[in-house]
Structure 1
């Protein structure tokens, strides 16, 4: 997700009581953690949940050793990896997708047509699909399709000097360029020599799926009146995907891309915001729940100024057609992507898929905004290897939302028409007896059943052996602040057991285990794996210091990306404050760490260049190469200066002669050819 969260306007009106105040529970919870997360993790895996031991016996060890020497924090404008490792840059913004595509222009003057044939901007989630694979993970480790999300654009780097969205010289083609740089790129890559990956530029697989690509609506909301527009009176054919943050993949070899900050792109066009009327009061309330207090688009985009689709005063229902998870077949360029309305509409971060014992598909999801919720989808039908019916598995099922109890237990509440809300009424009574409307208004449904507001739920990852799920909660500076969630709205809740710090600037990682190891169920047990903090600044016992597995050597803030390797190591990627003073002293540039989920040990594996976010992670099947993304290099403390002097903040990855920094993918390998992380 992007660092400067103009989109992150708190918008949750839930009146659910917080589980408790920080002083009532934090001490006890920290005693649990202080034994070591370390002891906390061992208790979770061994003592508190005896089923974990049986599962570990079935599947092998729950973790693997961390076999590399941790690296120090860095403020350098480069990527740093441990001794014994090497890295290379792949798929920079603007690199041509085909041999016929125009080369990147260093002054960023490429037009919309050129950008549609080039690698997109601000790389985020990604997945490596082996060229000969059948299940998304096994097959060739030397050739495959690298599928990558492109979340948003940074205007002062993305456009030529002097071009400002909505300003002088702003035109429909600059909007098309930005629209064609977001979405998903599919690139066919091949390993030619140790560490030398290249794009196969004559491959028919290479393409961009962007904000103007036709996409089919599927599931319960498809065709609903709230999705119909003049251009699509049936409500079944959307145009485009954008704001693509994290991702997922399926065992039937498809890619899931998650639409996150879709609200940023919708404004009032030529109408002054204060003069633009909502279509009706119901529409106003609905928009406020997702967009916060503003009527205007993020000024960094200004698509509404020249594209009527994004002017909600002209096309109000277009707003409802975004904020979904989109399924893409990377191996079939002719197949239309599909928006999966059964998985709900909100600011999707990623999609972590696992299979239940009976083959039903379970997907965990976070809604990345302050005081939003964690969700789970359970498919109606079961996955069958090789069956054509797998392609429709995510069109039918039950969406749930999580409530975390202060006793370390939780429940998944089904969001169905017959579920009773906290007011005693059926959800059907709230949403006109329409499941489609409920899913379009997923946040309101979660409000109605009293879900637990969380500290910006981001990525979720499922342990490949234990089935345990981990979720990053990146931060929430408004928790317990007394601030309204939007002008005139309710206040942010105070600390509770699952979110144990008011004004949480550092973030934390929570995890849960489903009762009976059955991810289809409605009960789970949970604890906190790590409270990020700053041990160089605060004394032991201060919650800002973090939990026992946070030290001066591995300190970090704002955990975001997350993934497990095949050996059970947990990889944590950060998108936090990259200043090196005040509360963030000693944390340096954003980074990637590796954790042992049993002992709780964390080691820093990678640091990124200045002003970047480290995000997205995927491996080759043999685990000898790991791919990660470097998003928005050069953003941050020098942002204002960078607007007038694009080279003041970063010249990564092209070096001193570069005209501007370029988001890109980094591939990392062990020089001796071994497994990464071992």
Structure 2
């Protein structure tokens, strides 16, 4: 999501303000005073960056097919990236290499369920219409083959499930939102905005001519900011989750600011709540730590709390009664979780899995699973100076038998990166002795594990996690099991360390690590830098050399490995990076980690973020999301008219990418 921290006015579209006031070291303090060019080492030619002028422990094997501590994996021979890199540009269109086709698909407002109301280009669709149409600002996404529960081989028919991160209120209504004395006044408009958030489940099919279409299916579904949900895991029923709506603290309504995603080994979709704090307001003088550490303020982003009625009053976290079960002081504690959705069961109730922690989840990526071993997954907290987390299930994975309960009982860890190139996962577990000692030393106490998880950020502060440069998407290399994470940027930082080696890091970088335990469940890992984004004069590519005109980029965000081990990188630049300089519009590149090759594959339209990526099993169709084209547009000032053309309001949409000859993409 684009960085914009102006929260003084309604309808801001930016990330939450930084709220980490801890003294924990920043990753860039690890090599303070060491020149960035010294990160290069002998392994760079194989795509392995090191630090402090020497190879990290284990770096030599990090580039090998099977490193010590990991099961042996077999490589498939393949050519280098077989397309010509496209140039940067600022066109209001989609650019892809010669021989490829990019077709807009399911833009915001596409009818998918209910009465299938048509999209009205003047913004006059009702709130109920919006609840039956694709939401706004497409983000994380996954394609489930229609036979996913029987092996998942079909490539011409499936469920496309995608997030809708936030809204542009000025475009959602005919003349923008109605304000009276600076306050929201229309319940219909606010309901429409709430319904434009959330998740869409869309059944799609590829015809004989290769064109994709939406099917009028009972599986089609909208999950919005008002959809009833259940709460599970250690925080279920906690005193800090009790509200007027759920006096027992076991149920909630809606999911908001759904950025990236995950998908489970048992075939369900996970949507991740990112910058949710700005949806709420509290006028209390002293905020409890579960609100203050997440950046809650006295005013909200969209002003939904201005209106009367329970459906809107829940966005006002001010204490108005003597008990939590009579007001909504705890409503913000219902957000910041990962939500599990069964796309094949439209009648199912989404579940918020609290064992995975509460923070600004960018996404969730699973390590390779194996029967009889724990499930392991990773998530980043996408805010300046926040942390990277790992979850290890208590119980073992059993194909055909395991389900979401594996995400209810387990241990949440947070990462500490050391300058030696090693790192440790620190348990956020009230029964862990080291955690108890850290809490005692810091003078911090938690009543139970539920309170630890509701205060995940504080718990991570206490144990000494390493501050990172906005951890975003993660991906696991199928060739060797290495875990990659994008660190998009952090222009506010003034110090450096090994894992974040630039002060005022406006361009961002990609980090990776290798678990030293073969089932990924251990506490030790070895890490390195994959690349430093930026212009030619201030960057280091995966091959150890400066980036070039064919691959320069800034603010890496989306990340995805295809089954053949190619890494697809999407960018989320904003402000001056988009309007001037060498980068052009946001883009998508492809890297070959084994050789260090990196090429630009796609450039998006004006003002848009390129985000969300998934493919059919036959790898003949790639789905990519284009979010907020013409960001900052109003009904009378259109900064983009993609995808509908001149005079039309810009709409987020999915793009279908295919080869013109119908063959595999690469």
Structures share fold, TM-score greater than 0.5: yes
Where do residues 400-411 of structure 1 align in structure 2 (5 Å cutoff)? 400-411=413-424
1:559 to 556, 561, 568: 556
Q: Distance in 2 between matches of 1:37 and 1:325?
A: 36
Match of residue 567 from structure 2: 570
CA shift digits 1:511-563 (9 cap, x unpaired): 0000043310100010110100111xx4x7x8899962522221111000110
Q: Is the 8 A contact 1:121 1:182 kept in 2?
A: yes
Q: Distance in 2 between matches of 1:392 and 1:94?
A: 35
Q: Is the 8 A contact 1:215 1:240 kept in 2?
A: yes
Q: CA deviation at 1:159?
A: 1.9
Q: Distance in 2 between matches of 1:157 and 1:334?
A: 31
Does residue 1:30 correspond to 2:39, yes or no? yes
CA shift digits 1:285-324 (9 cap, x unpaired): 43221016x32111xx111112100011151100100110
Where do residues 468-507 of structure 1 align in structure 2 (5 Å cutoff)? 468-480=482-494, 494-507=495-508
Q: CA RMSD in A?
A: 2.7
Does residue 1:94 correspond to 2:109, yes or no? yes
Q: Distance in 1 between matches of 2:439 and 2:627?
A: 45
Q: TM-score, normalised by structure 1?
A: 0.89
CA shift digits 1:636-659 (9 cap, x unpaired): xxx3xx336232x1110011142x
Q: Is the 8 A contact 2:164 2:257 kept in 1?
A: yes
SS at match of 1:178: helix
1:289 to 274, 277, 293: 293
Q: CA deviation at 1:22?
A: 5.2
Match of residue 519 from structure 2: 518
1:618 to 614, 625, 644: 614
Name the structure with the higher helix share: 1
Match of residue 89 from structure 2: 74
SS at match of 1:184: strand
1:312 to 307, 310, 317: 317
Does residue 1:354 correspond to 2:379, yes or no? no
Q: Distance in 1 between matches of 2:306 and 2:78?
A: 52
Structure 1's 37 and 142: CA in aligned 2 closer, same or farther, altered over 3 A? same
Q: TM-score, normalised by structure 2?
A: 0.90
Does residue 1:277 correspond to 2:278, yes or no? no
2:429 to 386, 395, 416: 416
SS at match of 1:129: strand
Match of residue 191 from structure 1: 206
Match of residue 645 from structure 2: 655
Q: Distance in 2 between matches of 1:32 and 1:154?
A: 46
Q: Distance in 1 between matches of 2:354 and 2:77?
A: 34
Q: Is the 8 A contact 1:63 1:569 kept in 2?
A: no
Structure 1's 646 and 208: CA in aligned 2 closer, same or farther, altered over 3 A? farther
Q: Distance in 2 between matches of 1:664 and 1:463?
A: 28
Structure 1's 333 and 543: CA in aligned 2 closer, same or farther, altered over 3 A? closer
Q: Is the 8 A contact 1:609 1:652 kept in 2?
A: yes
Match of residue 645 from structure 1: 636
Q: CA deviation at 1:433?
A: 3.3
Match of residue 220 from structure 2: 206
Match of residue 9 from structure 2: none
Match of residue 594 from structure 1: 590
Q: Distance in 1 between matches of 2:98 and 2:148?
A: 32
1:120 to 126, 132, 135: 135
Q: Distance in 2 between matches of 1:267 and 1:621?
A: 44
CA shift digits 1:84-121 (9 cap, x unpaired): 11121111100111372211111111111110011100
SS at match of 1:114: helix
SS at match of 2:403: helix
Match of residue 456 from structure 1: 470
Q: Distance in 2 between matches of 1:547 and 1:164?
A: 53
Does residue 1:369 correspond to 2:383, yes or no? yes
Q: Is the 8 A contact 1:512 1:526 kept in 2?
A: yes
SS at match of 2:606: coil
Where do residues 208-223 of structure 1 align in structure 2 (5 Å cutoff)? 208-223=222-237
CA shift digits 1:428-451 (9 cap, x unpaired): 983433000000000000000000
Gaps of 5+ in 2: 6-13, 321-327
Q: Distance in 1 between matches of 2:266 and 2:367?
A: 12
Q: Distance in 1 between matches of 2:169 and 2:556?
A: 25
Q: Distance in 2 between matches of 1:242 and 1:657?
A: 30
SS at match of 1:552: coil
Q: Distance in 1 between matches of 2:474 and 2:225?
A: 26
Q: Distance in 1 between matches of 2:344 and 2:541?
A: 47
SS at match of 2:392: strand
Structure 1's 629 and 49: CA in aligned 2 closer, same or farther, altered over 3 A? closer
Match of residue 83 from structure 1: 98
CA shift digits 1:587-628 (9 cap, x unpaired): 000000000112222100001000000000101011111101
165-174 vs 561-570, which moves further: 165-174
